[in-house]
Amino acid sequence: MAGRRGAWYVPCLASLETIQELCRKENLTCKSLGITNRNLKSYEVEYLCDYKVEEGTEYFLVKWKGWPESSNTWVPLKNLKCPLLLQYFHSDKNEYLSQLKRGKAVILKNHIKALNPVVAQYIVKKAKQRIALQRWKEELNRKKNHKGMILVENTVDLEGPPLDFYYINEYKPAPGINVMNGITTGCECSDCPAEKCCPEEAGFFLAYNKQKQLKIQPGLPIYECNSYCRCGPECPNRIVQKGTPYSLCIFRTNNGRGWGVKTLQKIKTKRFVMEYVGEVITNEEAERRGQLYDNQGNTYLFDLDYDSDEYTVDAARYGNVSHFVNHSCDPNLQVFNVFIDNLDLRLPRIALFSTRTIKAGEELTFDYQMKGM
């Protein structure tokens, strides 16, 4: 049951504020509620909610970390020691006012000695969003098992983390589907590549050169050394299985395409970037889900049709960073089928490789109609 914990929901019988108050009364810490040893008996600023000037003194309304909003208090600016939160406050205020000037928002005339309530509401929403995205980023980096870091960024709107998405690192097979076919043999090479190495045993060429770049054409499969091979982890034929080597950022696009993914590092051409993972389901189940997704206007279904069309990967609810990669008719990523510890031709792993040099900060895309073949 532990593996499916993320799919369970328990209705709350008490509000967040009530639970926080109970924890404090019982002298209990709770990291998920923001109650730590640091603020259990003291006050730590979580974010700033409002602003006013009284008798020439500037005040900010403070939300205290781990305390309910009913405990918010006005604090003189001179007593605040949180320069970053002050920076966020003014930045969010100016952002909203600039939206007003562009005609994207309508508010009443701003007062001199008190912040307009509409602006204050926006600032609170941005603060809560920033906290939620930070927690999501931390969760993603706890769960990922690869070298590259995952960042999250939204400078476009108030959208927070997706509510029904669970990060996984590998295929999540539906009941009755075995993504591990019990391979018990591997190559005897001590210095791959060599004769009778895994690709050659499968009737294909080694996919990588000494610089770890792809050297085969699209449509050809990749056979990497597996867990039974004699070679060690530094074998040049172990690339996809090591996971994403680059730091990537899930970011909110400014052209209406929702979330996207950009690289934070330069990626050279023909390099492995990421795997496409999700639930492995039957083609029949994919047809059923596909009708539902079509009605919603999006889909994350990827047919595993290298050898047959029995199975499909659905990354709608379970997936990794690839869940957020957008479509392009001129993509910078190419799909390849990969076989490592499972040689079942019906169940290849899906790897995305760069088609050209990709600059740091550039969005990553692939053609949704593209197949590894």
CATH number of the domain bearing residue 89 = 2.40.50.40
DSSP 2: G
**pLDDT, position 182:** 66
Last residue of a domain, one of 116, 140, 164: 140
235 labelled binding-site residue: yes
249 labelled binding-site residue: no
* Residue at 373 is within a domain: no
Q: CA neighbours within 13 Å on the CB side: how many for 335?
A: 23
Asked whether residue 103 falls in the same domain as residue 215, the answer is no
The answer to whether 140 and 167 are in contact (CB under 8 A) is: yes
Measured from the Cβ of residue 38, the count of other Cβ atoms closer than 10 Å reads 11
CATH number of the domain bearing residue 233 = 2.170.270.10
* Residue at 105 is within a domain: yes
For the stretch 330-365, what's the b/e string if a residue is b when 16 or more beta carbons lie within 10 angstroms of its beta carbon?
ebbbbbbbbbbbbbbebbbbbbbbbbeebeeeebbb
Asked whether residue 77 falls in the same domain as residue 218, the answer is no
Name the residue with tokens 């929901």: 9
Asked whether residue 129 falls in the same domain as residue 258, the answer is no
Task: Give the count of domains, the chain.
Answer: 2
Task: Exactly one of 88, 166, 293, 368 is catalytic; name it.
Answer: 368
Asked whether residue 218 falls in the same domain as residue 344, the answer is yes
Task: Exactly one of 276, 306, 311, 318 is catalytic; name it.
Answer: 276
Which residue stretches of the chain have pLDDT < 70?
1-18, 20-21, 24-26, 33, 38-42, 103-112, 182, 370-373
Residue 252, phi-psi category: left (phi > 0), alpha (psi -120 to 50), beta (remainder) = beta
**pLDDT, position 302:** 95
- Residue 368 designated active-site: yes
Asked whether residue 154 falls in the same domain as residue 136, the answer is no
Asked whether residue 240 falls in the same domain as residue 359, the answer is yes
Strand boundaries in 130-191, DSSP class E? 150-153, 166-167, 172-173
Asked whether residue 90 falls in the same domain as residue 154, the answer is no
- What's the rounded Cα separation, in Å, for the pair 309 and 303? 7
Last residue of a domain, one of 105, 140, 175: 140
Q: Strand, coil or helix: what is 230?
A: coil
- What's the rounded Cα separation, in Å, for the pair 44 and 51? 18
**pLDDT, position 39:** 62
Strand boundaries in the chain, DSSP class E? 45-54, 57-64, 73-76, 150-153, 166-167, 172-173, 222-223, 248-252, 259-263, 272-276, 279-282, 301-304, 311-314, 318-319, 326-327, 333-339, 349-354, 365-366
- What's the rounded Cα separation, in Å, for the pair 22 and 18? 6
Q: What is the pLDDT of residues 309-343, one digit of tens each?
A: 899 999 999 999 999 999 999 999 999 999 999 99
Q: Strand, coil or helix: what is 16?
A: helix
- What's the rounded Cα separation, in Å, for the pair 266 and 359? 5
* Residue at 256 is within a domain: yes
30 labelled binding-site residue: no
**pLDDT, position 126:** 97
**pLDDT, position 13:** 58
* Residue at 214 is within a domain: yes
Asked whether residue 128 falls in the same domain as residue 207, the answer is no
23 labelled binding-site residue: no
Q: Strand, coil or helix: what is 90?
A: helix
Last residue of a domain, one of 119, 140, 161: 140
* Residue at 166 is within a domain: yes
* Residue at 192 is within a domain: yes
187 labelled binding-site residue: yes
Asked whether residue 351 falls in the same domain as residue 281, the answer is yes
* Residue at 175 is within a domain: yes
Asked whether residue 129 falls in the same domain as residue 165, the answer is no
Domain that holds residue 134: 16-140
Asked whether residue 223 falls in the same domain as residue 360, the answer is yes
